[in-house]
């Protein structure tokens, strides 16, 4: 609660912002009453503040009365700002002040007026960096959550689209926006997401990666991410249409989507713009690339080390001839090349853009060509890792688990052979099929199998069938969510 005295209220604000040069206080007299206009440097548009607040307040003629009556007249008849609210709690006014609102205090009043005058700079809406598409809009989410809400509302012009304000982070007080269609989303799912956000024990929320661990099933180990993330408004709108919920986080262009299924890693927005047979072809291509990226090096090492009879004789002779002059085993070669590739990839991602091409040239010519010519590694092993690396980029959302599992499978294939690889594949499949995301099986609609849901899984039906009514996520086989 606020005190009646303006002096006490100002001292409270000044005590919290003691020594901070971006805290601005403007003392005023409004109709003979002491007042103060508070704002944060760089967070408020000064021109709008002067035109919409300071000039009208100083030029207005107030009726006689006590300070609360003059405050009510100021709120209802003088100020023309669209986004303004009367605040009675000090903590709420503090959060609004640090979110770009200006706060107007008057002596003799136990409330303040928060006025939306946000004027901070932000990146303009542009094409997403990590989800480029041939078809569809060239718009991607940006950092301010209010702009992202607008991008969704433009695409789903229905009153059923709801936005709920949530907060997370003790120090950051980050604005999280829960977005869903009221007539499509399961009430149980919405309540579960609200509960998980309320239970987050974090000092600050600065990126989507801070909150995604809280939406995974507690006590369960999963190789793959059961939480979806997207930078595209059209993709998020499509997921919301299926009854999912989206969590917009202020300060990051990445939107969290819940629940998330494994097969969605092989789907893209382009699939729904292309003809069904080509969409099915690209999805199957991504599945093949996933298996190549995950298992190809391990099977190559196992076959070369323990099961050479499985390799055609001409190819086996070439592999043997190439490995004859190398000092390391095939397993060690694969591990070393894999680690060197990951180092070059990280260097390309973290280095300035002007150095990115130089890193590629050094990696391809100096390391790759020189390593083969000097006899440190064999050309077949280098080619296997190269094919694996290219395949992994077809499914970028699975790159992290694939990179780790690939290294483990190389070790297993080089020490145990096919028996170890088959056991590892069985354990990974069991882990995938046993996982769930908010009561929805992670492997659906393949495991458990749902015939009706398979029309948009690996293959895709035409829009004459898909367009009748989008299937809700809670209707998938094995789902425990309320309809």
Q: For 275-290, what is the mean pLDDT? A: 94
Tens digits of residue pLDDT in 86-140: 999 999 999 899 888 999 999 999 999 999 888 877 888 888 888 878 777 889 9
Domain boundary, last residue among 227, 256, 272: 272
Predicted confidence band of residue 293 (pLDDT cuts 50, 70, 90): very high
Residues 260 and 282 in one domain: no
Confirm if 118 and 49 have CB atoms less than 8 A apart: no
Structural domains in the chain (count):
3
**Phi/psi at 114 (5° precision):** -100, 125
> Is 395 domain-assigned?
yes
Residues 283 and 231 in one domain: no
> Is 19 domain-assigned?
yes
| Res. 465: pLDDT tops 80 | no
> Is 404 domain-assigned?
yes
377: which DSSP letter? S
Q: What is the pLDDT of residue 347?
A: 82
Confirm if 432 and 220 have CB atoms less than 8 A apart: no
What proportion of the chain, given as a percentage, has pLDDT over 70? 96
Residues 380 and 335 in one domain: yes
Tens digits of residue pLDDT in 297-320: 999 999 999 989 888 888 888 888
Tens digits of residue pLDDT in 231-240: 999 999 999 9
> Is 448 domain-assigned?
no
Q: What is the pLDDT of residue 128?
A: 86
Report the candidate in 438, 442, 367, 432 with the shortest Cα–Cα distance to residue 405: 432
Rounded CA separation 228/244 (Å): 11
Residues 281 and 151 in one domain: no
Q: For 354-382, what is the mean pLDDT? A: 73
Residues 310 and 413 in one domain: yes
Residues 243 and 315 in one domain: no
Residues 246 and 313 in one domain: no
Domain boundary, last residue among 397, 414, 434: 434
Q: What is the pLDDT of residue 137?
A: 82
Residues 76 and 202 in one domain: no
Residues 213 and 336 in one domain: no
Residues 286 and 393 in one domain: yes
Predicted confidence band of residue 346 (pLDDT cuts 50, 70, 90): confident
Confirm if 84 and 113 have CB atoms less than 8 A apart: yes
Q: What is the pLDDT of residue 424?
A: 95
Q: What is the pLDDT of residue 469?
A: 61
Predicted confidence band of residue 453 (pLDDT cuts 50, 70, 90): confident
> Is 471 domain-assigned?
no
> Is 155 domain-assigned?
yes
The lowest-confidence range among 43-47, 211-215, 399-403, 417-421 is 43-47
> Is 97 domain-assigned?
yes
Domain region containing 59: 6-116
| Averaged pLDDT score across all residues of the chain | 89
Domain boundary, last residue among 272, 305, 324: 272
Dihedral (C-alpha) 113, 119, 121, 125: value to the nearest 10 degrees? 90
């Amino acid at each position: 609660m606020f005190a009646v005295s303006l002096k006490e209220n100002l001292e409270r604000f000044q005590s919290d912002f003691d020594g901070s040069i971006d805290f601005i206080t403007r003392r005023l007299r409004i109709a003979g009453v002491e007042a103060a206009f508070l704002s944060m440097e760089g967070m408020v548009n000064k021109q709008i503040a002067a035109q919409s607040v300071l000039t009208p307040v100083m030029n207005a003629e107030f009726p006689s009365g006590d300070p609360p009556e003059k405050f009510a007249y100021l709120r209802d008849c003088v100020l023309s700002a669209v986004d303004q609210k009367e605040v009675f709690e000090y903590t709420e006014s503090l959060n609004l002040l640090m979110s770009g609102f200006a706060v107007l205090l008057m002596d003799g009043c136990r409330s303040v007026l928060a006025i939306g005058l946000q004027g901070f700079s932000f990146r303009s809406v542009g094409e997403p960096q990590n989800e480029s598409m041939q078809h569809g809009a060239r718009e991607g989410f940006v950092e301010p959550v209010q702009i992202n809400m607008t991008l969704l509302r433009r695409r789903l012009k229905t009153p059923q689209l709801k936005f709920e304000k949530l907060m997370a982070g003790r120090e950051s007080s980050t604005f999280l926006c829960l977005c869903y269609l009221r007539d499509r989303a399961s009430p149980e799912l919405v309540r579960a997401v609200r509960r998980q956000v309320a239970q987050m024990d974090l000092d600050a929320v600065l990126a989507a990666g801070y909150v995604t661990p809280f939406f995974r099933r507690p006590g369960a180990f999963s190789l793959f991410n059961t939480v979806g993330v997207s930078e595209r408004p059209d993709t998020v709108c499509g997921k919301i249409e299926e009854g999912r919920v989206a969590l917009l986080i202020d300060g990051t262009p990445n939107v969290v989507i819940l629940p998330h299924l494994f097969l969605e890693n092989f789907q893209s927005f382009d699939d729904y713009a292309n003809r069904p047979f080509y969409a099915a072809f690209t999805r199957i291509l991504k599945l093949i690339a996933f298996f190549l990226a995950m298992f190809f090096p391990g099977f190559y090492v196992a076959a070369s080390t323990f099961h050479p009879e499985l390799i055609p004789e001409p190819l086996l002779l070439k592999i043997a001839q190439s490995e004859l002059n190398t000092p390391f085993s095939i397993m060690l070669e694969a591990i070393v090349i894999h680690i060197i590739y990951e180092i070059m990839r990280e260097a390309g991602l973290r280095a300035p853009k002007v150095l990115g091409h130089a890193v590629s040239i050094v990696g391809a010519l100096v390391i790759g060509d020189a390593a083969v010519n000097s006899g440190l590694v064999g050309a077949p092993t280098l080619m296997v890792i190269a094919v694996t690396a290219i395949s992994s980029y077809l499914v970028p959302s699975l790159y992290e688990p694939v990179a780790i599992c690939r290294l483990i499978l190389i070790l297993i294939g080089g020490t145990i052979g096919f028996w170890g690889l088959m056991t590892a594949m069985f354990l990974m499949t069991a882990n995938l099929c046993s996982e769930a995301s908010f009561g929805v099986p992670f492997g659906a609609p393949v495991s458990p199998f749902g015939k009706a849901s398979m029309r948009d899984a690996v293959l895709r039906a035409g829009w004459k069938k898909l367009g009748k009514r989008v299937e809700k996520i809670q209707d998938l086989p094995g789902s425990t969510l309320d309809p």
